[in-house]
A and B are shown apart, each in its own frame.
Chain A
Amino acid sequence: MEMTTLLRANIRHKKGSFISVLILAFLIVTTAAAVIGVKKNVASALERAQKESGMGNMNAIIAEKLLTDELLQKVKDSALTEKVDVIDAVASYGKAIYLRTGNWTGNTYFFSPLREGLRLYDPDADSFEDTIPEPEPGEIYLPLGNMSKHDCAIGDTVRVEFFDKTRDYKIKGFLQEPCYGSMMIGWKNVFISGEEFDKLSRELRAANTERVVNTYKIVRASKADKNLSDAKFQRELNLETGIISKAVGSLSMEQSETYTTLFMEIILDVVLGFVCVLFVIVLVIMIHSIRTEIDIDYENLGILKAQGFTDSKLTGIILLRYVIAELLGMAAGLIASVPLERVISGIFKNITAVLPDKRVALIGTLAVILAMLAVSVLAVFISCRRLARISPVRAISGGRKDIYFQSRLNAPISGRFLEASVAYRSFSSSFTKYLGILFITAVLTFFTVTVNIMGAAINSRSALSSMGVVLPDISLYFRNDKAYDHISDYESIVEKYTPISKKIYGTMQYYSLNGENIMCEIYEYPEVINGLLKGKLPMFDNEILVSRSAADALDLKIGDKVTVEGRSLKAEYIVSGFYQTMNDAGYAMSMSLEGAKRLGATRSASHDMVVADTSKVRAAVDELNERYGDIVTAEAVDFQEEMYNDTVMLGADAMKITIYAFSGIFALVAVIIVCSNAFTRERTDLGVLKALGFTSRRLRAQFALRFFIISVIGGAVGAAAGSLFSVSLLDLVFSTFGITKVYPDSTPLTYITAAAFVIICVTVFAYIVSGKIRKVEIRELVTE
């Protein structure tokens, strides 16, 4: 009973810290539960979609003529496979243009007849229709990823360039297609009626040439041994049958999953990491709060001890207060996470193209809650150890007064800068009391700096270029074979306007590297390859670059001899270096066109240029289209539009806003707690200063100034830590994209804006919270 009475009084008396801890626990659990929920719901929905659609562990796209009955039979007969099926497909050749918006893509669309196992989204893309009506001739179903990527809608027309001619299709609806459907995957499997597909494949089969293949088969194979990784399954199956070596590309279920959820995982992991840091901040706030409370309540606690309360009972009361506050916050957070999870899922659904489940991730969230509680309890116990130092005798004889020491940090009180010098003295004379807020300011600044650097990196052309992203100014689309005869003419036209600084002529092919199917970036001029991390560029025809992740997976070192196998030829190469690329999540290799010719490649498929003066691009493109429009389409490339679309930017911005908002909220709560404690402790001094003639406004300014000084130091520490460690942290985050070394295009402003944000928050909040000073009455100094 005595515990309950004291606990109630304790909560009543410490409303501020109780509510603050409750709010912080609420924010953390809301975010953590929502993030965990989104991850779980997307993962379970994706797994179900993969099963329903009959997706294989290997999904290889092979030119029709290369998939012989014998090869297919070999795959079917292999002990490695459990089930194999084949889907017919025809490939687009040039661009797909969405006529309403003008958005377009150069990625290949593989047309297939509508098949079982797919799900049709309702017009709002919130649920599935029961059935998928057969499309009429001229109608097409697209994966949901297309809707968000190209801002298209049902009823829009998409114009697709094939080798023989362009064809228009009206969008009938959007499907859940889990293999290539994500916005993050370039190739797309799109669906038309069986009847129309037969007609299209007949026409395009007739248009097949030596160099141009229009008709394909998608071979889907499920592994017999479920314990085998998809990568190993593909490698072993390829070694046994050679099927992947014949394919233009092969996507395993695991790879598809990685690409589908890649962007979502990065954003959510950053947020989750930030939430963990916020929890550390909560612990710091709790520890600071408990220690200060014990100092301030020294007398009361001593009297309680004199009455027979043990240290453990007093610890129990403090512990219960914090645990109750946390539990209430967590329970509210769990409830609030449900709608938040729906909102986040909605954003990412446009990227993953999978309709997430709507379950509450109870087990995962409860595990987080339990872990948080356990760590909190430990922190409270450690902080309460100073209860043992309370002497009942000293408490009864007037308590322990705050002791201030002469500090080396002290500066003289100046008449000219009275406010500033008094504020600085308050800080310097009890520096340790402000370590908590200093730490919090530093951590918040570090995270906002990191987010700023990340923003600067993904929005900077030079940074992305350094990270291996190819960013052209002009793209040329060759409409037919004749286009290849005039390459030097195109270059002359462009050079009339501005020098060409890079000719990014190349092609992407999937080759097998020591048996592993890997995307190969082939460049006619290998000196344009960005992102070299170590070694040298593959300037000779027997050299290749490999990405770090590929090198790690295949245990390759610079100088190693490797065997690369194309569809009909194989050759040996030497690993000349390591590089990074954003293609295929960084699992790739690169070589010169001369090197690829040893594997049967003949020419570059894509022709992009980087020019010296980008303001001349439009004029050059117009002339190219005017003079060679019948064989070539020239496009001016806008780097921002090329790299991102609204959904991706929305996700990145949402993460940035979340981190900034949380930094603000946490700064507010930390300031409230630290300010309140400082205010309680210094109430008398404030009264005295008022009695001397300081106005409330001047005292508030002093209070805010003190927190300004602390936050400036914290901000500087955070910004310095950011300059030292943020890039390493981002390396870790971006490594899932294939970027093992982030090149930040940061400026002093990147650091200053982050630190300024935190400093302003802390200072303004301190000024607002110090409004209590108005209530300090000088008569409180009177001892009647």
Chain B
Amino acid sequence: MKDAILTARELCKSFAHGGSQVHILSHIGLEIYKGDLTVIMGASGSGKSTLLYALSGMDRATSGEVIFEGQDLVKMSEKQLAALRHTGFGFVFQQMHLVSNLTLFENVAVAGYLNKDKSAAEVKERASQLLEQMSISHIASNLPSQVSGGEQQRCAIARAVVNSPRLLFADEPTGALNRRNTTDVLDLLTALNKEGQSILMVTHDLRAALRADRILYLEDGSIIGELTLPPYDPAEEKSRETQVNAWLSSMHW
């Protein structure tokens, strides 16, 4: 039996649009397990990213509960949520979203500095170590505009894990990358997961989904299917792909 790191109950999200309410998420209940790489898939407009943002506290749910370490994110103040973002969670965006006037090193370090548990020297050391791990230490002093998309995304991952978050959220982390960079980024995320990092990733990239321990399928704001997979082994990727493809077909993907 795995431990749940994040639990959602009766999670709803709706928006007012033209005088009526549009329901994006409808009474979702789920658990994200510690140490898992969980993937959420679904067709465009199914509410994947909305779910990710509601679960990460970056957007507030309309109703329901999101429990992280015994606390309900929905009821947290803005200040508590801000603190959670640099202590408990890490986030990787599809468009990387590095701060454009900071170097790669600084982008990682700034996030580290927000966590007051570590000294500045420790943050610098951790940032250097992560950039090394992401193979971008040689361009650490470059600005985002001076490096490739893949390098930017690796930096974004380093930034997301600089504070050793309990849960890493990734929103289509390979969506803006070419094939080679996609593989690199997925390898990095898989490696982090193997080291024990819990990851919740939204994607509609099959190659990303293959790395998952568990896939949740979202349709019209509800989870309609779940697939549990054995730990990822590159040698068995072909058979894993067939299994995931078949399951996705059954979900009308």
Contact = CB atoms under 8 A, between A and B. Distances in A.
Q: Which of B59, B99, B120, B159 has the most CB of A within 10 A?
A: B99
Contacts of A73: none
B114 interface: yes
Contact of B101 (A430, A687, A691, A779): A430
B83 A693 contact: yes
Contact of A693 (B45, B85, B98, B100): B85
A775 to B, nearest CB: 13
B58 interface: yes
B100 A418 contact: no
Interface stretch (B62-70, B104-112, B225-233, B244-252): B104-112
A777 interface: yes
Nearest to B85: A693
Given A779-B53, A783-B94, A688 B99 contact: yes
B101 A783 contact: no
B110 A413 contact: yes
Contacts of A403: 145
B97 A684 contact: yes
Contacts of B159: 692
B101 A413 contact: no
Contacts of B44: 784
B120 A406 contact: no
B211 to A, nearest CB: 21
A414 interface: yes
B219 interface: no
A553 interface: no
Contact of B145 (A404, A684, A695, A696): A404
Contact of B100 (A404, A692, A696): A404
Contacts of B145: 401, 403-404
Interface string B112-127: 1110000110010000
A435 interface: no
A694 B143 contact: no
Contacts of A416: 120
A777 B13 CA distance: 15
A413 B110 CA distance: 7
Q: Which of A415, A416, A685 has the most CB of B within 10 A?
A: A415
Interface string B77-110: 0110011111100010111011111100010011
Nearest to B99: A685
A426 interface: yes
Interface in A693-710: 693-696
B49 interface: yes
A406 B100 CA distance: 11
Given A414-B120, A692-B110, A694-B114, A782 B143 contact: no
Interface string A740-784: 000000000000000000000000000000000000011101111
Contact of A779 (B59, B95, B123): B59
A687 to B, nearest CB: 7
A402 B157 CA distance: 23
Interface string A408-429: 0000111110100010011001
B120 A415 contact: yes
A689 interface: yes
Nearest to B124: A415
Contacts of A422: 102, 110
Contacts of A781: 93, 95, 97
Contacts of A694: 82, 114
A777 to B, nearest CB: 7
Contacts of A687: 97
B175 interface: yes
A694 B84 CA distance: 11
A356 to B, nearest CB: 57
B58 A778 contact: yes
Contact of A783 (B95, B98, B112): B95
Given A404-B100, A415-B120, A783-B49, 4 more contacts: A425-B106, A692-B111, A693-B82, A782-B94
Question: Nearest 3 pairs between A and B by C-beta?
Answer: A693-B86, A415-B120, A429-B101
30 contacts: A401-B100, A401-B145, A404-B101, A404-B143, A413-B109, A415-B109, A415-B112, A415-B120, A415-B123, A416-B120, A418-B110, A422-B102, A429-B101, A685-B100, A685-B101, A689-B110, A690-B82, A691-B85, A692-B85, A692-B86, A693-B114, A695-B78, A695-B79, A696-B78, A779-B53, A782-B94, A783-B49, A783-B94, A783-B95, A784-B44
